């Protein structure tokens, strides 16, 4: 997300752009920016608009650290911005040690995925951390985000950085920050995020990137870290007897998940899947998908085609950094991707049964995820925590044994990874499937058994992608100024603005409880230019729930059409 500057004159923009160009070490973005400056100096209005878009704002830490489109400028992901972030983060870590009365050098682990410039940003960070006197450990190659999150805890590091934009569009990249020690290897939260941002801004205001000290005295991590992750993850869900008969298809969506996942499968005793060959190797251009997100329409079509050809009974997909998991099963003449809530509740039931009777054990999910997890926790005598959106909050729930978020994120092994992990979640889900298969049951049967325990929950989502993020702010403001009294024929029984929430959930979130027990939650995405609306209903039957959900979705779309 970006923080705006006041509206700038053409002269101000050109001054900022020239100062940025003078410190940019990247030939590609230097050429890009130099061309824009020359055109703007020649009174090219389009070039001036481009400079305004790139420099009238600055990427700031949001839900997942820094994340944005690649390109030159303070409002883009590039080597200048990453260098400022690395130097600022290093300053924060050194200052924190000094405040604690310690003179030791903090340790930072750096990982990166297969997106454009991920390796470059990671090496720049390692050099700058080392140059600032920190112990910097660069993971040995491009790896999934969960491996980096694991490494922070496994190595006892003070912090970690993962260069990834996860499931964002192909031309995005990002910079995800973790803290060790008392933070347990979780993503940053307040007040650390603001303190880090202040250090970054200080570096950006006071120093040229060209003058920041660098060193090649960083370490390259040992393969033993990856080996330890593989062993720990395989132990999450060892294959039961008969698992070898499972026929399934896997896609990495051009990401970095397969190499590590394949090793985990072998160690856990699962049969190798049929892979989608066009999508199995890392490719930062993502040639077969418009958006490398399993939630997006069409993203899993090649996997479905392969599954049809192979007579498979299951499809599993990871997003590009393998921290999210998608599952699909045959349905009529095609395939149905399970919702994040369906997978989350099945894994939650698995965790609850295992933890039943453990004092202080808890389940947790974000406030936009299915309320069914709370009923599972109650049924098995566990504590339950509803958190703000994001695994930086879920991972901090007291007594956590399992957490999930409806956006395909699952935390099944909190003792080793304090973040969502699509690989360990896949192993846990494969164990569920194999055990069910051994007694003649299928994934739909597991969902029926879940319904028998807690009732029938159905969920949906309406996402509105925009080119101008101000539209999102306008819609949220309009909803606050004139709250809806109904959604279709359903009256709003209670409306909550979580910016004013006394329970501490907080955030730019509007939540509506409807007269029939349904729920509507509206919030801006923290990682993409989207407005998201989450729908939850309960029904007497699958048909009843589907009808209720369809009517509620239509009402929400009608409301948004009027407001946008």
Q: Are residues 164 and 84 in the same domain?
A: yes
Q: Are residues 512 and 410 in the same domain?
A: no
The predicted pLDDT at position 308 comes to 97
Task: For residue 318, give Cα distances in angstroms to 225, 249, 275, 459.
Answer: 21, 12, 12, 21
User: Hey, is 136 helix, strand or coil?
Assistant: strand
Of residues 368, 168, 375, the one with CA closest to residue 286 = 168
**Following CA atoms 115, 121, 126, 132 in sequence, which dihedral angle do they give, to the nearest 10 degrees?**
-160
Are 362 and 471 in the same domain? Answer: no
Pair 173, 73 in one domain = yes
pLDDT of residue 243: 92
Q: Of the residues 188, 206, 221, which one is the last residue of a structural domain?
A: 221
Count of structural domains within the chain = 3
Block residue for tokens 């890392």: 282
Q: What is the pLDDT of residue 502?
A: 67
Q: From 417, 432, 454, give the residue that closes a domain.
A: 454
Q: Is residue 348 part of a domain?
A: yes
pTM of the model: 0.93
Q: Which of 415, 414, 416, 388 is nearest to 403 (CA)?
A: 414
Q: Which two tokens stand for residue 259?
A: 């190499």
420/480 same-domain check: no
Q: Rounded to an integer, what distance in angstroms lies between the CA atom of residue 323 and that of residue 422? A: 4
Burial category of 208 from C-beta neighbours within 10 Å (exposed 0-12, middle 13-18, buried 19 and up): middle
Q: Tell me: do 466 and 378 sit in the same domain.
A: no
Q: Which of 454, 477, 502 is the last residue of a domain?
A: 454
Q: Is the Cβ–Cβ distance between 280 and 287 less than 8 Å? A: no
The two structure tokens encoding residue 530:
């989207």
Please count the other Cβ atoms lying within 10 Å of the Cβ belonging to residue 182.
6
Clarify whether residues 450 and 467 are in a common domain. Answer: no
pLDDT in tens, the chain (564 residues): 455 444 578 999 999 999 999 999 999 999 999 999 999 999 999 999 999 999 999 998 655 679 999 999 999 999 999 999 999 999 999 999 999 999 999 999 999 999 999 999 999 999 999 999 999 999 999 999 999 999 999 999 999 999 999 999 999 999 999 999 999 999 999 899 999 999 999 999 999 999 999 999 999 999 999 999 999 999 999 999 989 999 999 999 999 999 999 999 999 999 999 999 999 999 999 999 999 999 999 999 999 999 999 999 999 999 999 999 999 999 988 999 999 999 999 999 999 999 999 999 999 999 999 999 999 999 999 999 999 989 999 999 999 999 999 999 999 999 999 999 999 999 999 999 999 999 999 999 999 999 999 999 999 999 888 888 889 999 999 999 999 999 999 999 999 999 887 666 678 999 999 999 999 999 998 777 899 999 999 998 989 999 999 999 999 999 998 876
Centre a 10 Å sphere on the Cβ of residue 356 and count the other Cβ atoms it contains. 12
| Token reading at 330 | 């045959």
The C-alpha atoms of residue 188 and residue 136 are separated, in whole angstroms, by 19
Domain that holds residue 464: 456-563
Does a structural domain hold residue 99? yes
Task: Assess if residue 238 is contained within a domain.
Answer: no
**146 occurs within a structural domain:** yes
Q: Which residues are catalytic?
A: 166
Query: In this structure, what CATH number is given to the domain that contains residue 142?
Result: 3.40.120.10
Residues 166 and 42 grouped into a single domain: yes
Same domain, 347 and 429: yes
Helix, strand, or coil (residue 274): strand
Look at residue 351 and tell me if it is in a domain. yes
Q: Are residues 335 and 408 in the same domain?
A: yes
Query: Which CATH number does the domain housing residue 553 bear?
Result: 3.30.310.50
Same domain assignment for residues 399 and 272 = yes
* Residues 70 and 134 both lie in one domain: yes
> Hey, how many other C-beta atoms are within 10 angstroms of the C-beta on 112?
28
Q: Tell me if 234 is assigned to some domain.
A: no
């Amino acid at each position: 997300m970006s923080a705006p500057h006041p509206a700038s004159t053409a002269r101000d923009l050109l001054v900022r752009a020239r100062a940025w160009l003078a410190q940019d070490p990247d030939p590609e973005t230097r050429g890009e920016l130099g061309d824009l400056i020359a055109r703007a100096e020649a009174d090219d209005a389009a070039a001036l608009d481009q400079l305004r878009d790139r420099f009238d704002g600055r990427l700031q830490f949001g839900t997942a650290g820094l994340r944005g489109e690649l390109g030159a400028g303070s409002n883009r992901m590039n080597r200048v911005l990453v260098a400022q972030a690395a130097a600022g983060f290093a300053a924060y870590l050194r200052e924190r040690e000094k405040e604690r009365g310690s003179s030791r050098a903090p340790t930072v682990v750096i990982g990166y995925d297969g997106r454009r410039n991920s390796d470059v940003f990671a090496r720049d960070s390692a050099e700058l951390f080392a140059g600032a006197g920190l112990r910097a450990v660069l993971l040995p190659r491009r790896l999934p985000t969960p491996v980096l999150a694991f490494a922070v805890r496994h190595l006892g590091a003070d912090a970690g950085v993962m260069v990834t934009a996860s499931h964002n569009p192909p031309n995005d990249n990002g910079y995800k920050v973790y803290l060790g020690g008392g933070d347990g290897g979780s993503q940053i939260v307040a007040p650390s995020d603001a303190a880090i941002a202040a250090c970054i801004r200080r570096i950006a205001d006071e120093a040229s990137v060209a003058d920041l000290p660098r060193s090649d005295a960083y370490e390259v991590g040992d393969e033993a870290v990856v080996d330890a992750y593989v062993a720990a993850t395989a132990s999450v869900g060892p294959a039961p007897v008969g698992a070898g008969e499972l026929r399934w298809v896997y896609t990495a969506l051009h990401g970095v998940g397969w190499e590590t996942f394949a090793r985990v499968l072998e160690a856990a005793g699962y049969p190798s899947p049929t892979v989608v060959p066009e999508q199995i190797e890392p490719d930062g251009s993502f040639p077969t998908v418009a958006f490398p997100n399993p939630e997006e329409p069409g993203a899993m079509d090649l996997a479905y085609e392969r599954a049809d050809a192979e007579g498979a009974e299951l499809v599993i997909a990871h997003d590009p950094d393998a921290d999210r998991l998608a599952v699909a099963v045959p349905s009529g003449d095609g395939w149905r991707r399970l919702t994040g809530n369906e997978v989350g509740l099945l894994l939650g039931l698995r965790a609850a049964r295992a933890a039943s009777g453990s004092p202080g054990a808890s389940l947790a999910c974000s406030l936009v995820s299915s309320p069914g997890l709370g009923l599972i926790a109650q049924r098995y005598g566990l504590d339950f925590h509803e958190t703000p959106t994001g695994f930086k909050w879920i991972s901090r729930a007291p007594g956590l044994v399992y957490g999930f978020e409806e956006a395909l994120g699952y935390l099944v092994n909190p003792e080793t990874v304090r973040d969502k992990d699509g690989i360990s979640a896949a192993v846990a889900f494969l164990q569920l499937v194999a055990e069910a298969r051994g007694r003649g049951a299928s994934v739909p049967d597991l969902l029926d058994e879940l319904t028998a325990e807690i009732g029938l929950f159905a969920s949906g989502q309406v996402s509105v992608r925009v080119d101008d993020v101000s539209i999102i702010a306008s819609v949220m403001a309009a909803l606050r100024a004139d709250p809806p009294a109904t959604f279709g024929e359903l009256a709003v029984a209670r409306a909550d603005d979580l910016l004013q929430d006394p329970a501490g959930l907080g955030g730019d979130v509007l939540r509506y409880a409807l007269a029939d027990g349904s729920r509507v939650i509206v919030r801006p995405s923290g990682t993409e230019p989207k407005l998201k609306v989450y729908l939850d209903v309960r029904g007497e039957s699958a048909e009843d729930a589907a009808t209720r959900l369809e009517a509620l979705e239509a009402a929400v779309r009608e409301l948004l059409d009027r407001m946008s």
